[in-house]
Structure 1
Amino acid sequence: MSTSSLPVPFLTTATPLPASLAWGWPLAGTPEVARTFDPPAQPWLSGHRGVDLIAPQGAEVRAPVAAVVTFSGVVVNREVLTLMTNEGLRLSFEPVVSSLKVGDRVTRGQAIGQVLGPSHCDNSPAASCLHWGVRRGEMYLDPLQFILDLRPSVLLPLP
């Protein structure tokens, strides 16, 4: 039996990505990741609860998804902007200076601020970056899972 006579829909039809992957990048183009998501084993331990994207000072930051502003202000020494999606996910960006106010609605791709001020990357070769975090309740999630297909590859046997 030839392989051309076998129905193999997984080869001819692209598997759609989960709806959660419908987000866009918070920076123009496809930014380089300076530091990946590295959650701690326990909530009180150190880790990296988001991703750092290389971004020069003054870079425009865009909303990856439609959301509502829930915080805009200074935390310690950094300007922070927090958005909440309709699904209850909280997205935080720092250092981001924004003219948006709590309650403002944003659409996917809308300019929401600029990278300005000290960042996680100040002491690295990247020099400046945007830290992007995503939380569901108290659980931190990898922001890249909403943009890239991070699902494991599945190898299927040949007929």
Structure 2
Amino acid sequence: MAILKLSITTFVLAATLAGIPGATAPAEERWAWPLSPKPAILRAFDPPDKPWLSGHRGVDLGPTFDGAPVTSPSDGVVTFAGVVVDRPVLTIDHGEGLRSSFEPVISDLKPGDAVQKGQVIGSLAPGHCSSSACIHWGVRRGEDYVNPLGFVEDLRPSILLPLE
């Protein structure tokens, strides 16, 4: 049965790399939650079927409080720190085509600044969730949005195997 389990794990990983919707990669140990303690998921990842359609291209985490420290989920380099529409946004390039973005986050960091996993990168500003303070965390692999939770949790489906 170990061979069956390996085959299923290999399929999920291959499906993830191939971009098959719904497939998720194993959690990567080099990533951590951007809020501490581990936050609740207030709104899940819900990508649109087409890039121009509406959807939720990240996750909302909280509840927390205005001014809460936000930390880098992985080592990287800041590529954007500024305002988009009416919210402060921070984007970090983690290498291997992965970029994460956080809003609303007030930060003194500038493009080109290196950050380490767990380093405070800014503070949560009000304005994203209407009922409580929360952060929107998005991750892109190249031009495609991916579920950020796949980097901090194992989202692979559970598979029951016979004992023998």
What is the TM-score with the length of structure 2 in the denominator?
0.81
2:9 maps to which residue?
none
Unaligned runs of 5+ in 1: 1-6, 11-16
Q: Distance in 2 between matches of 1:117 and 1:101?
A: 21
Unaligned runs of 5+ in 2: 6-24
Matches within 5 A, 1:144-159: 144-159=149-164
Q: State, as a whole percentage, how many aligned pairs show the same letter.
A: 57
Matches within 5 A, 1:34-113: 34-54=42-62, 55-113=64-122
Displacement after TM superposition at 1:86 (Å): 1.9
Rg larger for: 1
Aligned structure 1 segments of 4 or more residues deviating by more than 6 angstroms: none
Conserved 8 A contact 1:21-1:149: no
Q: Distance in 2 between matches of 1:65 and 1:155?
A: 32
Displacement after TM superposition at 1:21 (Å): 4.1
Deviations 1:93-120 (A, max 9, x none): 000000001000000000000001311x
Q: Give SS of 1:85's match.
A: strand
Q: Give SS of 1:65's match.
A: coil
Q: Give SS of 2:53's match.
A: coil
RMSD: 1.7
Q: Give the count of matched residue pairs.
A: 141
Q: Distance in 2 between matches of 1:150 and 1:36?
A: 13
